[in-house]
């Protein structure tokens, strides 16, 4: 299904009070309880505008009258031409709607608005390819709309609309694509350098990766214990892990390490088996507290954690 090329943000009641009903029923709820029902039902735009201006004049709030009318008109006048978005529970949600409103004959309530639109494409917090749209993963100029205090944001900012549609459609900014490709090329080059490292330098690299991800080395054990190269402690998790570091290794070596780990579970919560050049395919049971770091994984961590220059200097 093709999506509209226009995007509008909607706030579903104060503090999202209509969101549970809107999501459950496939609707967009709105207020404007002061506007007479007959004007809404007839889509009498001129009558609605005059009423809003007159009421605003009485209350000496004329400054917001035109904006209030424009927001209401966006909901009434062919809302199917827009993709509608809102931010709830830490996610960006989006939908498309049918034209035409349903007036709440019982009046606005805590659960329902004065009227609502029926959803055509259901509310979703995932992209078209199923990627969760967590607010924390989105650009700041996209999520800033969540702070908008009025009901509808008719933001005509082309950058904002294109970004929303690109995110929903799983499209990437061209510069982001280029940067990602460049990082992938660099990661492959780093892997070649990692494979040239001396064993002691490679072990030090694994230690640095652990350190930058919150694991502080407790002791250097490689020289005194054949079954453990690195012991590390994570204060936040309150856990100790051990890492076995190998330049090359096959499944039989991994199996021996797993056996050693299982015999020491009172001390160790997890194990990392780091090998930049595995011999054959390495396997562990699913849901196991054992991670296998092969060359590609290690190179990716090096690049993402800013350790590339250290690797370069060790091989230069």
pLDDT by residue (tens digit) across 90-135?
A: 999 999 999 999 999 888 899 999 999 999 999 999 999 999 999 9
The pLDDT of residue 155: 58
> Which residues fall within 8 angstroms of residue 36, CB to CB, at 6 or more apart?
51
Which of 122, 147, 171 is where one domain is finished? 171
CB neighbour class for 35 (10 Å; exposed up to 12, middle 13-18, buried from 19): buried
Q: Give the residue carrying structure tokens 């290794």.
A: 249
Compute the mean pLDDT over every residue in the chain, rounded to the nearest whole number: 90
> Which residues fall within 8 angstroms of residue 245, CB to CB, at 6 or more apart?
199, 202, 203, 206, 222, 229, 230, 274, 275
What's the CA gap between 102 and 37, in Å, rounded? 11
- Categorise residue 88: left if φ over 0, alpha if ψ from -120 to 50, beta otherwise: beta
Whether 1 maps to a domain, the answer reads no
Torsion angle of C-alpha atoms 120, 114, 70, 133, degrees rounded to 10: -40
pTM of the predicted structure, to 2 decimals: 0.70
What's the CA gap between 181 and 22, in Å, rounded? 41
Residues 210 and 167 in one domain: no
> Which residues fall within 8 angstroms of residue 102, CB to CB, at 6 or more apart?
27, 115, 116, 117, 118
196 is in which domain, residue-wise? Answer: 176-315
The pLDDT of residue 158: 77
Is 211 or 15 the better-scoring residue by pLDDT?
211
195-201's contacts with Cβ under 8 Å and 24+ in sequence apart are 195/247, 195/276, 195/277, 195/295, 196/315, 197/276, 197/311, 197/314, 197/315, 198/314, 199/245, 199/247, 201/314
Residues 82 and 210 in one domain: no
Residues 122 and 261 in one domain: no
Residues 240 and 300 in one domain: yes
pLDDT over 70 (residue 221): no
CATH number of the domain to which 230 belongs: 3.40.1350
Task: Give the model's confidence band at 240: pLDDT under 50 very low, under 70 low, under 90 confident, else very high.
Answer: very high
Residues 64 and 113 in one domain: yes
Tokens matching residue 256:
């021996």
Task: Give the model's confidence band at 37: pLDDT under 50 very low, under 70 low, under 90 confident, else very high.
Answer: confident
Which of 153, 171, 189 is where one domain is finished? 171
Tens-place pLDDT, residues 225-238:
555 689 999 999 99
% of residues, the chain, pLDDT over 70: 93
What's the CA gap between 65 and 199, in Å, rounded? 72
One-letter-per-residue 3-state SS of 259-271:
HHHHCCCCCCCEE
The pLDDT of residue 223: 47
Whether 273 maps to a domain, the answer reads yes
Residues 150 and 252 in one domain: no
228-231's contacts with Cβ under 8 Å and 24+ in sequence apart are 228/260, 229/203, 230/203, 230/206
The pLDDT of residue 227: 55
Residues 194 and 153 in one domain: no
Residues 163 and 196 in one domain: no
Residues 157 and 27 in one domain: yes
Q: Total domain count for the chain?
A: 2
Residues 53 and 124 in one domain: yes
Identify the DSSP state of 35: S
Tens-place pLDDT, residues 150-182:
678 765 677 888 889 999 999 888 888 899 999
Residues 278 and 228 in one domain: yes
Residues 136 and 188 in one domain: no
Task: Give the model's confidence band at 57: pLDDT under 50 very low, under 70 low, under 90 confident, else very high.
Answer: confident
Tokens matching residue 191:
């892997």
H/E segment holding residue 295:
helix 295-304
Whether 283 maps to a domain, the answer reads yes
């Amino acid at each position: 299904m093709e999506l509209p090329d226009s995007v509008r943000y909607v706030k579903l009641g104060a503090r999202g009070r209509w969101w549970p009903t809107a999501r459950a029923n496939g609707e967009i709820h709105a207020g404007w309880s002061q506007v007479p029902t007959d004007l809404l039902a007839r889509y009498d735009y001129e009558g609605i505008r005059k009423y809003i201006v007159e009421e605003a004049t009485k209350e000496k709030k004329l400054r917001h009258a035109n904006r209030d009318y424009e927001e209401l008109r966006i909901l009434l006048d062919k809302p199917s031409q827009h993709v509608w978005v809102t931010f709830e529970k830490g996610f960006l949600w989006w939908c498309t709607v049918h034209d035409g409103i349903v007036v709440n004959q019982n009046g606005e309530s805590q659960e329902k608005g004065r009227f609502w639109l029926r959803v055509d494409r259901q509310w979703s917090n995932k992209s078209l390819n199923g990627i969760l749209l967590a607010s924390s993963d989105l650009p700041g100029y996209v999520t800033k709309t969540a702070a908008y205090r009025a009901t509808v944001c008719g933001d005509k900012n082309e950058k904002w609309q294109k970004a929303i549609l690109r995110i929903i459609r799983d499209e990437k900014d061209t510069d982001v694509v280029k940067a990602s490709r460049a990082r992938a090329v660099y990661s492959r080059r780093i892997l070649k350098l990692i494979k040239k490292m001396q064993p002691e330098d490679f072990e030090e690299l694994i230690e640095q990766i652990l350190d930058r991800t919150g694991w502080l080395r407790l002791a250097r054990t490689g020289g005194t214990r054949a079954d453990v190269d690195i012991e590390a402690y994570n204060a936040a998790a309150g856990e100790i892990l051990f890492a076995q570091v190998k330049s090359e290794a096959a499944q039989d070596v991994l199996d021996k390490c797993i056996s050693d780990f299982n015999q020491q579970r009172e001390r160790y919560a997890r194990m990392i088996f780091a090998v930049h050049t595995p011999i054959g395919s390495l396997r562990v049971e699913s849901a196991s507290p054992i991670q296998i770091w092969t060359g590609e994984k290690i190179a990716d961590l090096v690049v993402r954690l800013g350790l590339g220059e250290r690797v370069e200097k060790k091989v230069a």
